[in-house]
Amino acid sequence: MTTNTTTGQFIGYARVSTDDQEAQLQRDALTGAGCARIFEDKASGKNTDRPQLAAVLDYARAGDVLCVWKLDRLGRSLIDLVSIVDGLRKRGIGFRVLDGALSSVDTTSADGRLFFQIIAAMAEFERALIKDRTRAGLEAAKAQGRTGGRPAVVDEDILTAARARKAKGESVSTIAKALGVSRATLYRHLGKSA
């Protein structure tokens, strides 16, 4: 078995959203930055299935630097970006943005690490806001008498019919089929009497 000796190289990741788009501009920038290898996806940023992103993350080794043309080419959201870059940092892999408003992100330098920590703090703030809004929404719905989750499959009418049929000696399987519910659900609602 041979060991991978890719330590210390720049590796590029490019992404375009549709098949109609061309990644040549990104490839040129990544090649110009000295990337030894470039991985490329054609997928929307919202798409979680980005096989070449998974491949580049698997390929990169401690000491390497993952480069992207612009920050939005890497992640689906600020939280997603921070998660990916933090995973790289933990593995000893640097990260560098080549162009755009956030081109000062270069985790191989002290300034870049500081800047990325500010971005990470913003992502954490965004995460907290999402939790707060979700909690507030649930509380408002509860105050209006609404609760989350799926509606109950077995209401009181179905349960009464099931108990009556069970009292007549029908099997739970037969009752469940006749009432249009699963046996497990019916067993759960009938309790010990089943």
Pairwise CA distance, residues 175 & 165, whole Å: 7
Question: Which residues are bridge partners to 26 per DSSP?
Answer: none
Q: Which residues are catalytic?
A: 17
Pairwise CA distance, residues 85 & 96, whole Å: 10
Nearest residue to 99 via CA among 72, 75, 69, 65: 69
Pairwise CA distance, residues 81 & 84, whole Å: 5
Pairwise CA distance, residues 124 & 130, whole Å: 10
Structure tokens at 156: 């009181």
Residues 6+ apart with CB under 8 A from 178: 165
Structure tokens at 1: 């078995």
